[in-house]
């Protein structure tokens, strides 16, 4: 549990750096790999909405840029008054680098930690044939 709190704290710190002038919804993500390395990302909006990046995408991109390709856990937080979960596109991105043990960690509005397996949030992913 302590490791989940550390990831949530790091995600919260990077959330403060998000660029979200349109939605005002700052999101932060922290990925930890099997090697123990942690990669951070925040959302970056753009006036042309499809051109923005989600926090999860940013963290995964940092992980890949460092030469790692497996996610052990990913924590996601926001400044919204609701439990933030990855969007469909980010769930598919997380799945790409997941194992059956990969955990997605979120916070409820009353600061309770929730943990999900990728299969719970994305039960029918797009996969190779």
Q: Which residues are catalytic?
A: 56
How many beta carbons lie within 10 A of that of residue 101, not counting itself?
11
d(CA 84, CA 7): 15
The C-alpha torsion from 81 through 122 and 97 to 56, rounded to 10°, is -20
d(CA 100, CA 89): 19
- DSSP single-letter state for residue 86: -
Residue 43: φ, ψ to 5°: -75, 145
């Amino acid at each position: 549990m302590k490791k989940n709190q550390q990831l949530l704290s790091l995600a919260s710190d990077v959330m403060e750096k998000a660029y979200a002038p349109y939605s005002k919804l700052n999101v932060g993500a922290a990925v930890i790999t099997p090697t123990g390395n942690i990669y951070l990302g925040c959302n970056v909006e753009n006036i042309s909405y499809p051109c923005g990046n989600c926090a999860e995408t940013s963290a995964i991109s940092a992980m890949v840029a460092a030469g790692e390709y497996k996610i052990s856990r990913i924590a996601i937080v926001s400044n919204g008054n609701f439990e933030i979960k990855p969007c469909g596109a980010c769930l598919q991105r997380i799945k790409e680098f997941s194992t059956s043990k990969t955990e997605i960690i979120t916070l409820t509005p009353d600061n309770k930690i929730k943990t999900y397996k990728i299969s719970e949030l994305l039960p029918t992913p797009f996969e190779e044939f």
